[in-house]
Chains A and B, each alone.
Chain A
C-alpha cells in the first residue's frame, strides 16, 4: 500500500534536547512538507522540499532543521532553539503537479517536559 508514515506517534523529550521526527513516503511524490498544528490555529508551514537535496523555509522555520537526501524521506529536527516545541507535527507529500492535493501522514505528537 502506498502512503506516508511518521514515527513515532507520541514522543516525549526533556527541555533542551534535540529530537528528530521521521517522515517516509512511497508515493513517488516530489514535494514534501512539514506542518505544525496547535489548538485553535491553522496548519503552519515549517519547511518544504520540492526536489531531492533542496528545501525552503516556511513561515515558522526558526528552531527547526530538515534534510532531503532521498526522495522518500524528509526528517525534521526540532532543536533546543525552538521556544515552544510541544505540538502536533504533520508531514505531507504531493505529486509535482501544482493543482494536486497534499497527502498527510498520521502525525507525531511531541511533548517537551
Chain B
C-alpha cells in the first residue's frame, strides 16, 4: 500500500530551527511537495523536490533522499506566524498526490 508518515505534532521556540521529517512508501515517485496550512485555511505551496538534495528558499529548505524514501522540511529563524500544519505529499506513478496527515507545529515565545 501507499503510506506517508509525519510526526503528529512538534513544538519549537521563536527564533529557533525546526526539522519536520516525512517518510514515504508509494507506487512510483514523481516528486515530493511540502505545503503549509493554517487552521481553517487552504494549504499553500512551499516546496517541490524531485531530485536528491537540498532546496533552499529563504527561511525554508527541503531535503530529499529517494533511496531512503525520506524528506525533511527545515524552518529557520522561527516566527510566531509559522505556527501551522505542514503537509507532505508525494506524486505517485499516476501523478496523483498522496498526502500525509500533516505535522502541527506550535511556536512558543
CB pair B97 A99 closer than 8 Å? no
CB pair B31 A99 closer than 8 Å? yes
A interface list, Cβ under 8 A from B:
40-45, 48, 58, 88, 90, 98-99, 101-107, 109
Mostly, the A contact residues are: loop
CB pair B42 A42 closer than 8 Å? no
User: Distance in Å from the Cβ of B85 to the closest Cβ of chain A?
Assistant: 10
CB pair B31 A105 closer than 8 Å? no
B window 55-109: CB within 8 A of A: 87, 89, 91, 95-102
* Closest residue of B by beta carbon distance from A88: B40
CB pair A105 B99 closer than 8 Å? no
CB pair A106 B101 closer than 8 Å? no
Question: What are 12 A-B pairs with beta-carbon distances under 8 A?
Answer: A42-B4, A42-B98, A42-B99, A43-B99, A90-B42, A98-B30, A101-B48, A102-B97, A104-B44, A107-B40, A107-B41, A109-B40
Given known A101-B33, A101-B48, contact A90–B43 (CB-CB < 8 A): yes
CB neighbours (8 Å) of B41 from chain A are: 106-107
User: Distance in Å from the Cβ of A56 to the closest Cβ of chain B?
Assistant: 10
CB pair B30 A99 closer than 8 Å? yes
CB neighbours (8 Å) of B89 from chain A are: 42-43
